[in-house]
Structure 1
Amino acid sequence: MASSTRNGEPHEEEIRLWREDDWWVAKDVETGVTSQGESRAAALDNLDEAVALHEGEIGREPTDEELRELGIDPEDNTTDDGAPPDVLN
């Protein structure tokens, strides 16, 4: 397992990679972010992007105009503070 620092603090980075049927699944253990791909390399590339999105390193919030173009009322585009459904736990 590799050791590195994040924000000046040491931490362990661990990625788990396994095959499910025709797909490779990759999980970043620290963040809990999981992605998949048709090859090991694709799963890891997708995981890198998903973790960067999770960490706010890439991506952005959609504008109200973009939401309206997709038929979404910005007033209804809120995050629920309640517990996630059991299937997501």
Structure 2
Amino acid sequence: MSDKTSEEEIPTVESPHTVWKEEELWVAKDSQTEVASQGRTRQEALENLDEAVALYKGEIGEPIDSREKERRLLEELGIDPEEVKKAREEKRELPEFMQPDLENRN
């Protein structure tokens, strides 16, 4: 066993974000908004999270007012739209990471 620990082997926590590795992807979640995103690297996950939070807060981008716009955005963020569709069908609602947090929304 090596004394060295690679970045991929340990979950990291940085306020106000939580970052961890799942299989081959890094996941980053914003603690305040509960918005999450992912990427092939830790840095990519954090960059995607920054964009996702800005979109959530309405700071950038156009409103997502159609399923097609939602599909394109999910694909850009590296999220499989079919998984979201399946989750909606199973739970009849958005997956937890896509739920709006109305308490913290400005």
SS in 1 for 2:58: coil
Residue 88 in 1 paired to residue 83 in 2? no
Q: Could you tell me the TM-score, scaled by structure 2's length?
A: 0.48
- Structure 1 CA distance, aligned partners of 2:30 and 2:51? 11
Distance 1:87 1:50, change over 3 A: closer
Higher strand share: 1
Task: Give the length in aligned residue pairs.
Answer: 61
Larger radius of gyration: 1
- Structure 2 CA distance, aligned partners of 1:28 and 1:18? 12
Structure 1 stretches (4+) deviating beyond 4 angstroms?
Answer: none
- Higher RCO (C-alpha under 8 Å, 6+ residues apart): 2
Q: Could you tell me the TM-score, scaled by structure 1's length?
A: 0.57
Which runs of 5 or more residues in structure 2 are unaligned? 1-12, 69-90, 97-106
Which runs of 5 or more residues in structure 1 are unaligned? 3-12, 71-83
Residue 21 in 1 paired to residue 23 in 2? yes
